[in-house]
């Protein structure tokens, strides 16, 4: 039906870039966000330094259009992002070759309030975002679609 992979890079990890590189090629693309053990200062984030990375969201073709992707992302960011400064995602994850898939990914990224940072990476400041309102509207839309 639907699967999603999220990575949490905690505050104080000695070398996040090395750890991400060891996980996968997809995860390695997020290494640019770090300068040593801290978030790159060009991100201009306040507070905590942890990051939730939306590594992969996959919804089977027959289940698309039902709001499962946004629901998975909203719930994961709500739960995993409590001690993090930001969430990050890639607008063209490896293995995404279909233009329709890329278009849907970008639409979801924008709907959540992610801002384009650089090299296809998008950042969501969890301290200033309306994530709870977005999460609530996703749940309401999902309930309406079930009726």
Lowest mean pLDDT, pick from 33-37, 41-45, 94-98, 125-129: 94-98
Which residue reads 């409590």 in tokens?
A: 82
- Cβ contacts of 92 within 8 Å, gap of 6 or more: 102, 105, 120
Higher per-residue pLDDT: 103 or 78: 78
Q: Could you count the other beta carbons within 10 Å of the beta carbon of residue 47?
A: 13
Lowest mean pLDDT, pick from 21-30, 53-62, 79-88, 115-124: 21-30
- Would you say residue 129 has pLDDT above 90? no
pLDDT of residue 31: 87
pLDDT of residue 60: 86
Task: Give the model confidence (pLDDT) of 43-99 as tens digits.
Answer: 888 666 689 999 888 888 888 877 788 888 888 998 898 888 899 998 776 555 566
Q: What is the mean pLDDT of residues 95-105?
A: 67
Report the mean per-residue pLDDT for the chain: 81
Q: Are 126 and 85 in contact (CB under 8 A)?
A: yes
Q: What is the mean pLDDT of residues 5-19?
A: 84
Higher per-residue pLDDT: 132 or 76: 76
pLDDT of residue 136: 81
């Amino acid at each position: 039906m639907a699967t999603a992979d999220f990575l949490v890079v905690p505050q104080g990890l000695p070398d996040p870039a090395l750890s991400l590189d060891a996980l996968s090629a997809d995860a390695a693309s997020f290494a640019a966000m770090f300068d040593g053990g801290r978030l790159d200062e060009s991100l201009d984030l306040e507070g905590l330094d942890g990051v939730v990375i939306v590594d992969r969201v996959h919804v089977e073709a027959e289940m698309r259009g039902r709001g499962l992707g946004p629901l998975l992302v909203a719930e994961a960011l709500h739960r995993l992002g409590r001690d993090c400064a930001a969430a990050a995602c890639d607008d063209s994850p490896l293995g995404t070759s279909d233009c329709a898939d890329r278009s849907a990914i970008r639409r979801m990224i924008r709907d959540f309030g992610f801002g384009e940072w650089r090299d296809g990476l998008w950042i969501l400041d969890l301290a200033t975002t309306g994530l709870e309102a977005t999460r609530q509207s996703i749940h309401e839309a999902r309930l309406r679609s079930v009726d």
